[in-house]
Structure 1
Amino acid sequence: MDTEALRSFVRAADLGQVGHAAAELGVTQQAVSKRVAGLERELGVHLFTRTARGVELTLDGQAFLPHARAVVTGVDRAVAAVRPGSRALRVDVLGLRSAQAVVLHDYWRSHPGTRLDVVTLKVEDPLLAAVAVESGEVDASFRTVIDRSALPRGVRMVHAFDSPLELLVGPRHPLAAARRLTPSRLREHRIWVPGITPRSEWAEFYHQLATDFDLRIDAAGPNFGNEVLQDTLADSPDVATLVGARDRYTWPAHHDLRRIPIAEPTIAYPLSLLHPDANPHPGLRPVVDHLRGLPCLPGDTWRPSWAPDPDPDPDDTTRK
């Protein structure tokens, strides 16, 4: 059944004038009349009677109107659900306590009314996140594909921001009283990062970090979540871990955990944003501008060799 014919019928019934319905729909009066006539032939009933004042619904027309209106409303909602300009911007983050989620929350708070849908794809391989962007499952993803040549043809990767790392320790750890630490002071200390997934961007990050600074990063054991990790740190005199300065963590007050900044150099985890190369969601451009307005890290910052270029790209398609 022709949905435009249904729409013409509904508007003519609401307005009582075929001419008024035509003007509102942006078509000729003849077009509306033909649509309604075709609908009547398909149904085998008369929907209107013509009067000197316009049109009036027949009994069949009265019975048909609420159903026709429901179909038209459903079609409009279906179109709105997939139209980039009217649906929420859907962005994938690594976790809802991650730096990406925190930064997106800051953006949302400073832009009231923004329609934003923050999700976490259940994938470890960043290439799978890139495929989700390509397919339209999400509009953007905070993941880094280290081998740019492996990116799907329709996906672009840009630098989002750098997240400085901090050492997280319990009160019995030898470094617990430090106000600030250099990477060299982390040597010989066990840095426990359970659950590092092979082929993930963070696996490559920690491998290069350990190599460049001669650190002992231990990924042994299953990952039972942040709460179990924090319990271990609170009771341990020798276990530490690394967390992002913007990552949101909470723990019981009696744990007395300490977050200690790392400097000279600052260790930065580079975060990238994957988005479609053509026709990105209109809501993405303001988010990218917000990311580029974040404070820069010090000049003596360590980033892995594969980190995307942090300089703004004037040819970024999100500016369209």
Structure 2
Amino acid sequence: MDLEAVRTFAAVAEAGQFQKAAADLSITQQAVSKRIAALERELGVRLFARTPRGAELTIDGQAFLPHARELLRAVERAVASVRTGRRPLRVDILASRGAASGLMRGFHHAHPEIDLDVVMLLDIETAVASIRSGAIDASFRAVAAPGRPLPEDIESVRVLDEPLQLLTGPAHALAGARSVTVAQLVGHRIWMPGIAPGTEWGAYYDDLVAEFGLTIEATGPNFGSDALLETVADTPALATFMGEHIRLVWPARYGLRRIPVTDPAPVYPHSLLWHRDNPHPALAALRAHLAATATGLDAAGTWRPDWVLPR
């Protein structure tokens, strides 16, 4: 469908006259008539009836008008979505309840004037490909997995080292501890069904297991956080890891405990990734905000894999 003809139809409907619509569109009245005639031929109906007072919508014209206006609004949204400086800043946060979501909420609070479009992609390969294609402007990712260095055109900076906590039910052997050392976790079953092979967080936990001899099980289907919390609450033999900045809500009857892990404290390193040639002006504001609010980076007594992106 010729969108200029649709735009002309909407202008005539608004003006009530072909001549006034022509003036509003800065085209000739003959051009208006040709566009309307072509649109009527395409639709197979008459859209206007000529009267002494001008052009009045027919019943078909009245039916088509709201759809025509929606088409034009869709065009405006499509153009704005790719116009640098006018479209929202598109950022991948991986999960809605994770640390990156909290970082972006903090940015939005500091810069409410910046429009944001938040997405959630699964793996780092998809995120990097989306950054390089321009589908997104930036992504929060924990690490570059071993043997998978970032492309040369992708920049990165570490913005948060998030301490891990142990989450247990009330009957777990460690439920009463104020904190636990990594050594105390040896021999306990840590259940994390959300670990996906080949992802950067899968590589992180593989290294954590290799470094400290922990038992992390990723068996069974991943039914989401609600099912995980219910299972941990009801199963004394199971615990799970949770980032300090993850915000979850559960029924009080679960009696779940969040226990800091120490000596050393495993931290999950979050980095911001972006394309070095990305011109979106809000990207610079996001980077500056994260640099000003970064805390806990490279703190003493913490552990992270040696393949973490440099700060």
Partner Cα separation in structure 2 for residue 74 and residue 173 of structure 1: 55
Change beyond 3 A, Cα 1:187–1:154: same
| 1:73 CA drift (Å) | 8.0
Amino acid at match of 2:204: F
Q: Is 2:287 the counterpart of 1:288? A: yes
Partner Cα separation in structure 2 for residue 182 and residue 167 of structure 1: 10
Q: Which residue of 1 aligns with 2:239?
A: 240
Q: Which residue of 1 aligns with 2:150?
A: 151
Provide the TM-score with structure 1 as the length reference.
0.72
Q: Which residue of 2 aligns with 1:214?
A: 213
Q: Which residue of 1 aligns with 2:270?
A: 271
Change beyond 3 A, Cα 1:102–1:78: same
| 1:157 CA drift (Å) | 2.9
Deviates more, 1:284-293 or 1:230-239: 284-293
Residues 54-89 of structure 1: per-residue CA shift (max 9 Å, x gap): xxxxx9xx87xxx9xx89987665433322211211
Partner Cα separation in structure 1 for residue 250 and residue 26 of structure 2: 66
Q: Which residue of 1 aligns with 2:61?
A: none
Q: Is 2:89 the counterpart of 1:89? A: yes
The root-mean-square deviation of aligned C-alpha atoms, in Å, is: 3.4
Amino acid at match of 2:103: V
CA contact (8 A) 2:163 2:265 kept: yes
Deviates more, 1:239-248 or 1:280-289: 280-289
| 1:146 CA drift (Å) | 2.3
Greater length-normalized contact order (CA 8 Å, ≥ 6 residues apart): 2
Q: Which residue of 2 aligns with 1:104?
A: 104
Q: Which residue of 1 aligns with 2:302?
A: 301
Change beyond 3 A, Cα 1:44–1:104: closer
Change beyond 3 A, Cα 1:40–1:266: same
Amino acid at match of 1:302: W
Change beyond 3 A, Cα 1:253–1:76: closer
CA contact (8 A) 2:145 2:199 kept: no
Q: How many residues align?
A: 268
Structure 1 unpaired stretches of 5+: 15-34, 46-58, 311-320
Partner Cα separation in structure 2 for residue 101 and residue 213 of structure 1: 29
Partner Cα separation in structure 2 for residue 240 and residue 119 of structure 1: 30
Q: Is 2:185 the counterpart of 1:189? A: no
Q: Which residue of 2 aligns with 1:54?
A: none
Describe the SS at the equivalent of 1:96.
Answer: coil
| 1:308 CA drift (Å) | 0.9
Q: Is 2:116 the counterpart of 1:119? A: no
For residues 18-57 of structure 1, what are the structure 2 equivalents within 5 Å? none
Structure 2 unpaired stretches of 5+: 16-24, 35-50, 56-64
CA contact (8 A) 2:269 2:308 kept: yes
| 1:152 CA drift (Å) | 4.4
| 1:112 CA drift (Å) | 2.6
Partner Cα separation in structure 2 for residue 215 and residue 149 of structure 1: 25
Partner Cα separation in structure 2 for residue 148 and residue 157 of structure 1: 17
| 1:200 CA drift (Å) | 0.4
Describe the SS at the equivalent of 1:156.
Answer: strand
Partner Cα separation in structure 1 for residue 171 and residue 74 of structure 2: 62
Partner Cα separation in structure 2 for residue 302 and residue 79 of structure 1: 46
Describe the SS at the equivalent of 1:105.
Answer: helix
Partner Cα separation in structure 1 for residue 225 and residue 77 of structure 2: 40
Residues 159-185 of structure 1: per-residue CA shift (max 9 Å, x gap): 232111100001111111111121111
Residues 106-144 of structure 1: per-residue CA shift (max 9 Å, x gap): 2212333331121112x3x31111111111221111124
